[in-house]
Amino acid sequence: MIGFLLRKTLYDLWDNMFKIVVVNIGFIVTAAFPVFIPQLAGEFFNSFPLMISLTAFGILLCCVYLAAAAMYISSFSDYNAQGLGEIFKYFKHAWRPGLVMGVFVFVIFIVVTVIIPFYLGIESPVGLALAALIFWVLIFALLSFQFYYSVYSRLGKKVFKSLRKCMIISLDNSIFSIFLLLVNIVALVISVLFVFMFPGPAGIMLYVDEALRLRLLKYDWIEENPNENRKKIPWDALLIEEREKTGVRSFRNFIFPWKD
């Protein structure tokens, strides 16, 4: 299943490269707000609350944009890629999940920059224990929330149900969730080298959406076969149709598809 996930993601990234790059450019534009606008405001107004407010607003703006982008990108996973203009229709549905993710990101920012350093600065076993506890809670939150946009898009447009399903999926697929997060970290490092143009946030969200979409086949099978061993999922059988749709490409066909 992992091999097919990586192959399908690579194919969909390649087939929709231009759209991925354009979506990433949109992210770069929105990300400039929390990065540069607070600094610019600080040059004219010596107000720390103003800078924090502008940063928080910028983070929310980025997260709302990414929520709309995630809904749009899910069409790539479904073999039904939409035109670039279609992304705008998702913004009216994106503000709620985007705000929730924005609050989560802002909390992470405060935890990493303020709370954990504060407890480590206590220089006592209690402070170290609290810092360690918060760190592992943060790791679990990252493992769960990486599914958030895709879960919201695919499993119902309700925020709190989406949050609960994210945690359930993460706990039920712990090794898979860790692998997914590690690949996302590697993709993020590669994105830095390409100035977030590729694969960037759009590519990472596509990968997570592909992963969730395929993982949901497991739950469909469990529902249809309640008496079977849920630890022995027949992935080869479940992925027959997906493999037929995705196909296998030679290197020549991958680079020069018009020559075949």
Q: Give the pLDDT band (50/70/90) at residue 254.
A: low
Domain span at residue 120 reads 2-259
The total of structural domains in the chain comes to 1
pLDDT value, residue 258: 53
Q: Which amino acid is at 149?
A: Y
Q: How confident is the model at residue 260 (pLDDT cuts 50, 70, 90)?
A: low
Contacts of residue 215, defined as CB under 8 A and 6 or more positions apart, other chains included, come to 169, 173, 176
Q: In terms of pLDDT, which residue wins out, 39 or 166?
A: 166
The 10s digit of each residue's pLDDT in 208-242 is: 999 999 999 999 999 898 888 888 899 999 999 99
pLDDT digits (tens, 9 = 90+) for 104-121: 988 888 898 889 999 988
With tokens 């992935």, the residue in question is 235
Neighbours of 32 (CB within 10 A): 12
- Helix and strand totals (H; E) in the chain: 13, 0
Instruction: Give the pLDDT score at 256.
Output: 61
CA pair distance 74, 153, nearest whole angstrom = 8
Alpha helices in 78-124 (DSSP H): 91-110, 116-121
Compute the distance between CA of residue 227 and CA of residue 219 in angstroms, rounded to an integer: 13
Q: What is the mean pLDDT of residues 127-137?
A: 92
Amino acid at the residue 20:
I
Tokens linked to 227: 């008496």
pTM value is: 0.90
Percent of the chain clearing pLDDT 70 (strictly above): 95
The confidence band for 160, taking pLDDT boundaries of 50, 70 and 90, is confident
Enter the DSSP assignment of 239: T
Task: Return the pLDDT at 168.
Answer: 94
Q: What is the average per-residue pLDDT within 184-201?
A: 92
Q: What is the pLDDT of residue 259?
A: 54
Summarize the confidence of residues 19-44 as an average pLDDT: 84
> What is the average pLDDT across 250-257?
67
CA distances from 247 to 20, 85, 189, 252 (A): 21, 28, 29, 14
The one-letter code for the residue type at 142 is L
- The mean predicted confidence, pLDDT, of the chain is 89
200 SS3 class: helix
List, as one string, the DSSP characters of 37-101. Answer: HHHHHHHH---HHHHHHHHHHHHHHHHHHHHHHHHHHHHHHTT-PPPGGGGGGGHHHHHHHHHHH
